[in-house]
Structure 1
Amino acid sequence: MTVTTDPEASPTRRGLGPRGESRTGAWGLTALLVSLYVINYADKAVLGIIAQPLREELGLSSSQIGLVGSLFFLTFTIGGFFAGLLNRWMTLRWSLVLLALCWAAAMLPMVVVASFAVLILSRLFLGLAEGPSSALLHTAAYSWHPPARRALPGALLAGAASISKIAIAPLLAVITVGFGWRWALISLAAGGLVWCVVWLSTWRNGPYIASGKASNDSPAASADTEPATPWISIFRSRTFVTGALVVMSVYALVSVVLTWLPSYFEEGLGYSRLQSGSMFAFPSIVGLVLMVLSSITSDRMISKGATSRMLRIVVPSVGVLVSGVLLFLLPSVGTPIVAVAILSIGYGFAATVFPLFNAAVAEICPPRQTAGTLGVFLAIMAIGGLVAPYATGVIVDAAATPAEGYATAFQVLGIVAAVCAVLALVFADPERDRARLRPHAPAVEGATP
């Protein structure tokens, strides 16, 4: 007897994933997570937007502004280690609401009492509350996408930084110039509150990752039957170690861009304050385009049988090497628009590491350990932000001119990132480490067209 299959009845044709989930719903909820990450990065980026008005009103030096930027990443790093604990104590629904409310609250002390001490305390609190967010957001997004198709949702999350600087930073610059820096902070607090209302009315967990206090009868919980892997084995794997070094070095560049880029454009290259705030978006536009293109390509090629090492390690690492070369050349460039172009392209190539390396690291651990693994991975990444903003402020204060100081700082960042990329090219291999750490793992879902 011949059995015919109606192609219209296949899950793909009906808009359903391998486990029957709605792909439209999956991408809609992913978009909601991306919107929270946009707010997250706007909270970080606002310091760069209001840095010059703050310096003028409070009489701060470049080193002090850089110190504030680095102290944020101190508590951000510490907070990252709590992602796994939050994932066990609370559902994703309530843990992300709690974090978003804390971010909104952190915006307001400077509105009431403007001082250097209050600035430091509010940024320390913001860093602690934002630390666990990246791992939890990735865990939430991955719960709606099978392992072989996670680069694109990861790219959209990583691209939230770019979206924030493209869409939100220019708006914050307009608000700062037109109404004062306090209204920029108030606007961000209001945005966080609105997001919480939408989130509570729409979110539900996906079927691919068990999360926190999810019911044992839920699809995610029932699917996660793989034995746990010792944490120390995950953290000592060569993919985890070298991947952490690469993302840490690139995040150092990101943190300097967040803290200093408008100041570099204004003080170093001679653009106006409004132009500098608007041009904040240029590196992010390049980064967003390259992240999305590389991630779409990665998911499609892995689905067709390409290796994870080639697409999630080699390709982004080569991008970091290209970035390192471009940033190394920055001090020799005398034309402002060329300097903007070099920095933008270099930043864009480096930014491709985030979605692809996150997906590679998530691949080597069991689903139930995704939040904890990414929490530690991203906390280590944030160490780059702990050091780089303050070091940049010191370099700028010591340089003959601001332009020379900023260019030198970016050059150093490029060299360090390139060295770390070489280490990843030599040692990182997610497929090798997955086979060693997860001998009982089922076949990777989503790896067939």
Structure 2
Amino acid sequence: MEIETLSAKTTSVGYYRWRICALLFFATAINYIDRQVLGILAPQLQTEMDWSDSQYGLIVTAFQVAYAIGFLFMGKLMDRFGCWGGYAFSVLVWSVAAMLHAVARTAVGFGGWRFALGLGEAGNFPAAVKVVSEWFPIKERSLATGIFLSGSSIGAIVAPLAVPVIAIHYGWQWAFILTGASGFVWLLFWLATYRPVEQHPKLSASELAYIQSDPPEPTTEVPWLQLLKYKQTWAFALAKFLSDPIFSFYFFFLPKFFNSQHGLTLDKIGVPIMIIYVMSDLGSMAGGWFSSHLIRRGWSVTKSRKFTMLLASVTVTPVYLASQTTDLWVAVGLIGLALFAHQAWSANLLTLPSDMFPRQAVGSVVGIGSTVGAIGGMFGATTAGFLLQSTHSYAPLFVVAGSAYLVALAILHSLTPRLRAAIP
């Protein structure tokens, strides 16, 4: 039967779970700082190393290929061994790979370290979503997801402010080294702070009871391949396939877009990018809050999640006009609105696996869906690079960016009209 809402009124039970959410937020921020450094430096590196647009697209694709491969085993890794060591392993791999970009001197070299970065970064979302499913009751999960997801926008704000300063004063190599090193700081806090929810010595009995107040879930272990037979898995995966490439497009191509269309150089790109990702950050929290708010008001999980995603899908459609305007700040506003909507959409989409699957399968389902999403991003990055080289126009890319969410929501709804539990 459909997962229904729980009581809207709860007593004060403690807040330790929000400390864990804060760690997820900072990990996600670091994750997006590390992956954005190349995009910010792309105009300079393309000139210095004589890359074509298609070569840059293939370098980005190397990350997406590894991201897709990484999700296949990272999600299973989190379900099998737990998030304390699994998350730490993921962050360790991507931090080392991020720093080693500094030694690359060719397109092939950058592609190799992008590949390693993608393998490590693939662990972030399976781990974070699994942690949320274990540490938060259903009615708080979309809010917690929206909060940690907002770390991606914070990372995207910090990077364009910090990276140009580092690159201009110390060289582009130090931009990779210093941002990559931030992951090691996070590791110290994670290893010292995190424990499984039932074993945490600082969690009160009342807060543990609140976290575990949802109806009991199935405890039978589900084989990884068996998850592929559920339409709920494919609903999540296909929605990721259509929406993930859009965020990747913004993430990797926005500095190039503003450079080619509006003449922004490395020292001037920070403020427009910051404004866009502040709006994106607000979207993460607004989308997560709004869905949880509707549940507290008595809406079912199905209606609250899908209504929020529908609003986001409609809000993103005007972004096509960003490719047509010659006014920089109009373009910034339209793209910022689109990313606000994308993050509101994603905060709810990432919550769906924990709505439909037991905790012990959530990491694997997120991994499967994210693999499919990364495959979409891989083809999207390559296609974007070749389209730009052949047409010298961003218009076709923004048309796709404005319409993909409505198509994704239609497919998701057709496969899962109601968010039923996949495993009885």
TM-score normalised to the size of structure 2? 0.88
Q: 2:398 aligns with which of 407, 410, 420?
A: 410
Q: CA deviation at 1:207?
A: 4.2
C-alpha distance in structure 1 between counterparts of 2:242 and 2:27, whole Å: 25
8 Å contact kept, 2:262–2:326: no
**Mapped pair 1:306 → 2:332:** no
Q: CA deviation at 1:290?
A: 2.1
Q: Please say which of residues 81-90 and 131-140 is displaced more in the overlay.
A: 81-90
**Mapped pair 1:176 → 2:193:** no
Residues 335 and 314 of structure 1, relative CA distance in 2, 3 Å threshold: same
C-alpha distance in structure 2 between counterparts of 1:291 and 1:155, whole Å: 5
Q: CA deviation at 1:123?
A: 0.5
Q: 1:187 aligns with which of 178, 181, 186?
A: 178
Q: 1:258 aligns with which of 251, 263, 269?
A: 251
Residues 199 and 270 of structure 1, relative CA distance in 2, 3 Å threshold: same
Question: In the alignment, which residue of structure 2 is the partner of 1:368?
Answer: 360
**Mapped pair 1:274 → 2:267:** yes
Residues 305 and 232 of structure 1, relative CA distance in 2, 3 Å threshold: farther
Cα deviation, 1:188-243, whole Å, max 9, x if unaligned, reads 2221111111222111122499xxxxxxxxx98xx765335576675444443333
C-alpha distance in structure 2 between counterparts of 1:208 and 1:387, whole Å: 43
C-alpha distance in structure 2 between counterparts of 1:319 and 1:387, whole Å: 24
Question: In the alignment, which residue of structure 2 is the partner of 1:345?
Answer: 337
8 Å contact kept, 2:67–2:119: yes
C-alpha distance in structure 1 between counterparts of 2:322 and 2:410, whole Å: 21
C-alpha distance in structure 1 between counterparts of 2:413 and 2:128, whole Å: 27
8 Å contact kept, 1:104–1:189: yes
Count of residue pairs the alignment pairs up: 403
8 Å contact kept, 1:78–1:128: yes
C-alpha distance in structure 1 between counterparts of 2:417 and 2:165, whole Å: 46
Q: CA deviation at 1:52?
A: 1.3
Q: CA deviation at 1:427?
A: 4.0
Cα deviation, 1:69-124, whole Å, max 9, x if unaligned, reads 11101110111011243125533111222111111211233323422221011011
Letter in 2 for 1:186: I
Higher Cα Rg, which structure: 1
Letter in 1 for 2:396: T
C-alpha distance in structure 2 between counterparts of 1:430 and 1:147, whole Å: 16
**Mapped pair 1:429 → 2:417:** yes
Matches within 5 A, 1:163-242: 163-207=154-198, 226-228=219-221, 234-242=227-235
**Mapped pair 1:126 → 2:128:** no
8 Å contact kept, 2:95–2:183: yes
RMSD of aligned residue pairs (Cα, Å):
2.5
C-alpha distance in structure 2 between counterparts of 1:60 and 1:102, whole Å: 27
Cα deviation, 1:374-422, whole Å, max 9, x if unaligned, reads 11122222222211222111111112x4xxx223312223233332233
Letter in 1 for 2:183: G
Q: CA deviation at 1:54?
A: 1.1
Q: Please say which of residues 278-287 and 118-127 is displaced more in the overlay.
A: 278-287
8 Å contact kept, 2:130–2:359: no
Which consecutive aligned stretches of 4+ in structure 1 deviate over 6 angstroms post-superposition?
none
Cα deviation, 1:46-78, whole Å, max 9, x if unaligned, reads 111111121122111111111111110111011
Q: 1:294 aligns with which of 287, 293, 301?
A: 287
Residues 47 and 334 of structure 1, relative CA distance in 2, 3 Å threshold: same
Letter in 1 for 2:235: T
Structure 2 gap segments, 5+ residues each: 1-8, 201-210
8 Å contact kept, 1:62–1:393: yes
Letter in 1 for 2:220: P
Q: 1:317 aligns with which of 298, 310, 324?
A: 310
Residues 388 and 277 of structure 1, relative CA distance in 2, 3 Å threshold: farther
Residues 88 and 177 of structure 1, relative CA distance in 2, 3 Å threshold: same
Letter in 2 for 1:416: A
C-alpha distance in structure 2 between counterparts of 1:190 and 1:227, whole Å: 40
Q: Secondary structure at the match of 1:159?
A: helix
Letter in 1 for 2:320: F
Letter in 1 for 2:102: V
**Mapped pair 1:44 → 2:32:** no
Q: Please say which of residues 139-148 and 45-54 is displaced more in the overlay.
A: 139-148
C-alpha distance in structure 2 between counterparts of 1:141 and 1:322, whole Å: 27
**Mapped pair 1:392 → 2:384:** yes
Q: CA deviation at 1:430?
A: 4.5
C-alpha distance in structure 1 between counterparts of 2:221 and 2:188, whole Å: 35
8 Å contact kept, 1:317–1:422: no
Q: Identity over the aligned pairs, expressed in percent? A: 22
Letter in 1 for 2:394: Y
Q: Secondary structure at the match of 1:410?
A: helix
C-alpha distance in structure 2 between counterparts of 1:286 and 1:379, whole Å: 27
TM-score normalised to the size of structure 1? 0.83
Q: CA deviation at 1:293?
A: 1.6
Q: Secondary structure at the match of 1:275?
A: coil
Letter in 2 for 1:327: V
Letter in 1 for 2:348: L
Question: In the alignment, which residue of structure 2 is the partner of 1:329?
Answer: 321
